[in-house]
Amino acid sequence: MAKKEEPQASADAEAKPAGKMKLIILIVVALLLAVGLSVGGTWFLLKKDGDQAEASAEAPAAVSAPGKQAAIYEELTPAFVVNFDYQGRPRYMQVSVALMSRDQAALDALKVHMPVLRNNLVMLFSSQDFEALTTPVGMEMLRQQATASVQELAQKETGKQAVEQVLFTNLVLQ
């Protein structure tokens, strides 16, 4: 009887590793399929969103091209640094400014008057109330005042409004 059981035991031992190998292969195939579906689905969704973004980006460009020219930005370097005396303590403000225009010739004509423009902006920045500048409304008001000052100078010196907006690209209060 022992001889009869021995061949069955070896047949069972051979069958179990083959069954485990099939299970491992099925798991690997299922994982590869899941990864492939995930990558394909992600690519499909991103491609779909990208097409919509391209279509929406092209539509305003086509509409705005005949009416307005492209914006041109001129960075005023170095940044403006002014000091304040706030409640007996020295305080500082650093502002990086960019001018936005749509007419390169008018912007070039204004560059000749850059020392006067920088002087006017330094005087404007240093005359502000430090506490008011700590609020977003105060910073926006200062930006609008700077825009008006630059536009006034451009109108006076060049005869046309060379700058559409003054933008703060960096503003640090300390």
What would the pLDDT profile of 38-77 be if each residue is shown by its tens digit?
Answer: 888 888 888 866 666 565 555 554 444 456 789 899 998 8
**Tokens coding 29:** 């195939």
Report the 10 Å Cβ neighbour count for 99: 23
What does the pLDDT read at residue 62?
A: 46
Backbone angles phi, psi at 117, to 5 degrees: -60, -50
In the chain, what are the helix, strand and coil shares in percent, each to the nearest 5? 65, 20, 15
The residue extents of the domains of the chain are 1-68, 72-173
Taking CA atoms, 154 is separated from 54, 70, 102, in Å, by: 37, 20, 14
pTM above 0.75, yes or no: no
| CATH of 72-173 among 1.10.760, 2.60.120, 1.20.120, 3.30.479 | 3.30.479
As a whole number of angstroms, the distance between CA 97 and CA 142 comes to 12
What does the pLDDT read at residue 6?
A: 55
**pLDDT tens-place string over residues 78-129:** 999 999 888 888 989 999 999 999 988 888 888 899 999 999 999 999 888 8
Residue type, 138: G
